[in-house]
Amino acid sequence: MSKFRVLVSDPISEQGLQALIDSPLVDLDLKTDLTPAELREIIGDYDALLVRSQTKVTAELLEAGKNLRAIGRAGVGVDNIDVPAATRHGVVVINAPDGNTISTCEHTFAMMMAMARKIPQAHMKLKNGTWDRKSFVGVELNHKTLGVLGFGRIGSEVAKRAKAFGMDVLAYDPFLTRERAESLGVRMSTVDEIVEGSDFITVHTPLTKDTKHLLSRDQFARMRDGVRILNCARGGIIDEKALAEALENGKVAAAALDVFEEEPPVGNPLIEMDTVVVTPHLGASTEEAQINVAIDVAKELLNILQGLPFRNAVNLPSLSNDTLRTLEPYLTLAEKLGTLAANLAVDSVRKIEIGIYGSLSEQQTEPLTRSFLKGMLSYYHGDEVNYVNAPFLAEQSQIQLKETKASRHDTYTELLKVTVVTENTTITVAGTHKASLGSRIVQIGEFKVDLEPQGTLLLAENRDQPGMIGKVGTILGVNGVNIDSMKVGKLENGIALMVLAVDRAPDEETRRSIEALEGIFSVRDVTL
Ligand SMILES: NC(=O)C1=CN([C@@H]2O[C@H](COP(=O)(O)OP(=O)(O)OC[C@H]3O[C@@H](n4cnc5c(N)ncnc54)[C@H](O)[C@@H]3O)[C@@H](O)[C@H]2O)C=CC1
Ligand SMILES: O=C(O)CCC(=O)C(=O)O
């Protein structure tokens, strides 16, 4: 078997990459000084690309990466990666969200203390030979109010440390619950309450269209006089022009910035201001964080390349281990139902209605839709389809998707039932899973069946009359197709569906001979 080729195009801790370096499955190239043109030239040879924040993974680069299956980002922010383009190309993007949390939190804290006590300014002056004690009177953190905008991994760790320093913490995050806020001893607040009531404000959100200039001129005007501002998340969350004005007019006493709208900053007045403490995007720059993120991303990449489950995909829903365990049999079943439905649909698909019943409906169900779409669309698009791009391809084909959930089903404890509406027909397929019995297909069209979703199945719709099975069996036997098992589903109107598990798909002539039998209405085969 040929090895997976992985390219590392930014400086990433080699100690952390050891799993990839040691893997007999992987050929790892470290090329960290390529120009964008050189990278584009060679990217087509690789199955995966590992980056930090220097390499810009553009739509053009992804277009050239014909064999790319995964992009790994050794860090949190993926703003250097064109994620929608990766999704279109079916390339999974993973990051390492946990490995640099503590480093970035500690850096934020270091910046807060450096700013409060004017340490960098005093340090510079003393290094330059001046013993000046008057100019560097600072403020205590104790009893001050810290407003935290974005209470995810880093924001919440900053809050914990602030509490230890005797600060009162206000927190805003759309996903923060009152229980969590209470358990961490912080006050759940609105953006306005934070803006108007804080002595220090720190931002820990990603940069999105909602968080761009989250702190702008209007907000600065409403802040307490002498407020201190921190940004160790992303440049652009704070409006730099407005911050510079607010520092100049004294509304803001000081700022501590690790990140900038343009990096490296060019002609940025904030860099020159005495009241501003700056670092060149060093939040994650500790030995520990760099090893941790590299370990995490290397492990995930190995899993992806081997087709094993992985957790931290940016362009796929992330699943906990428990959810993954519960959903796993249904993910396989959903894909097989998709393949089955595609084989039964004779014309273009317009709408897919996914029904999820019973306890399964309490799970995160989006992955089931993805799996069904992957099974179905692979019939039309082949290997191009994967879990990442299946919803995008469905959207591109203008297929409407509808998901229905119900906590109970009259017959089954759990049921996945999909109705595919095509130009001229409607096809329903359904399946269930029980730990004791495994997975079963329980409905094809209007027929109730009980089939193992595997192998090659021959589906023959026929008049429910004696002798039909024998006639079909004879034709298959004469043509060298062996029948492993057989199931029949019947309707009250005298029509039956004969489902034969066979050792191989019959050739066209054999299929036609069966179709020509009196009482046979249609014949299809499908390999699941
Ligand atoms: N300076 C550096 O070197 C580093 C910077 N970062 C940056 O720090 C930021 C936070 O990282 P994590 O805490 O790991 O991410 P996270 O995903 O754990 O937390 C981000 C939080 O922001 C919240 N959020 C999103 N939109 C919001 C809005 N409009 N208002 C308030 N909250 C909002 C989310 O709900 C989430 O809880 C990211 O931008 C990341 O790229 C991360 C690591 C290193
Ligand atoms: O790789 C780095 O140092 C940047 C870290 C960062 O900003 C992130 O992980 O989002």
Q: What is the pLDDT of residue 348?
A: 84
Peptide bond preceding 24 in cis form (omega within 30 of 0)? no
Rounded to an integer, the average pLDDT of 397-420 is 94
Strand bridging mode 495-502 / 483-490:
antiparallel
CATH for 4-97+288-315 is 3.40.50.720
Between the alpha carbon of residue 32 and those of residues 3, 51, 55, 469, the distances in Å are: 21, 9, 9, 66
Least confident residue range of 79-88, 116-125, 150-159, 261-270: 79-88
Atom of ligand 2 at shortest range from CA of 259 = 7
Atom of ligand 2 at shortest range from CA of 285 = 3
> From atom 1 of ligand 2, which residue's Cα is the shortest distance away?
52
Q: Which of 100, 107, 205 to mutate to test the pocket of ligand 2 (most atoms within 8 A of CB)?
A: 100
CA distance 108 to 277: 11
Right CATH for 326-452 from 3.30.1330.90, 3.40.50.10540, 3.90.1150.10, 3.40.50.1000: 3.30.1330.90
Report the C-alpha dihedral over residues 150, 152, 158, 160, rounded to 10 degrees: 120
pLDDT at 321 over 80: no
pLDDT at 525 over 90: yes
Whether 281 is a known active-site residue: answer yes
Atom of ligand 1 at shortest range from CA of 155 = 13
Rounded to an integer, the average pLDDT of 10-31 is 96
Q: What is the pLDDT of residue 260?
A: 98
Whether 287 is a known active-site residue: answer no
User: Would you kindly state where each structural domain of the chain is located, as residue ranges?
Assistant: 4-97+288-315, 101-278, 326-452, 455-528
Centre of ligand 2 to C-alpha 284, Å, is: 6
53 lines ligand 2 (CB under 6 A): yes
CB 153 within 8 A of CB 97: yes
Centre of ligand 1 to C-alpha 173, Å, is: 10
ipTM score of complex: 0.99
pLDDT tens digits along 435-452 = 999 999 999 999 999 999
Q: What is the pLDDT of residue 492?
A: 87
> With bands split at pLDDT 50, 70 and 90, how would you rate the model's confidence at 296?
very high
99 lines ligand 2 (CB under 6 A): no
144 lines ligand 2 (CB under 6 A): no
144 lines ligand 1 (CB under 6 A): no
| Among the bound ligands, the one closest to the CA of 52 | 2
pTM: 0.79
69, 73, 204, 281: which is the annotated catalytic residue? 281
Rounded to an integer, the average pLDDT of 465-484 is 94
Between the alpha carbon of residue 212 and those of residues 88, 157, 261, 448, the distances in Å are: 25, 23, 10, 54
69, 89, 228, 234: which is the annotated catalytic residue? 234
Between the alpha carbon of residue 190 and those of residues 148, 161, 172, 224, 341, the distances in Å are: 10, 21, 6, 16, 48
pLDDT tens digits along 130-139 = 999 999 999 9
pLDDT at 1 over 90: no
Atom of ligand 1 at shortest range from CA of 234 = 39
Q: Which CATH architecture has domain 455-528?
A: 2-Layer Sandwich (3.30)
CB 419 within 8 A of CB 341: no
Right CATH for 101-278 from 3.40.190.10, 3.40.50.720, 3.40.640.10, 3.20.20.70: 3.40.50.720
CA distance 174 to 156: 14
CB 26 within 8 A of CB 6: yes
Rounded to an integer, the average pLDDT of 291-306 is 95
| Among the bound ligands, the one closest to the CA of 205 | 1
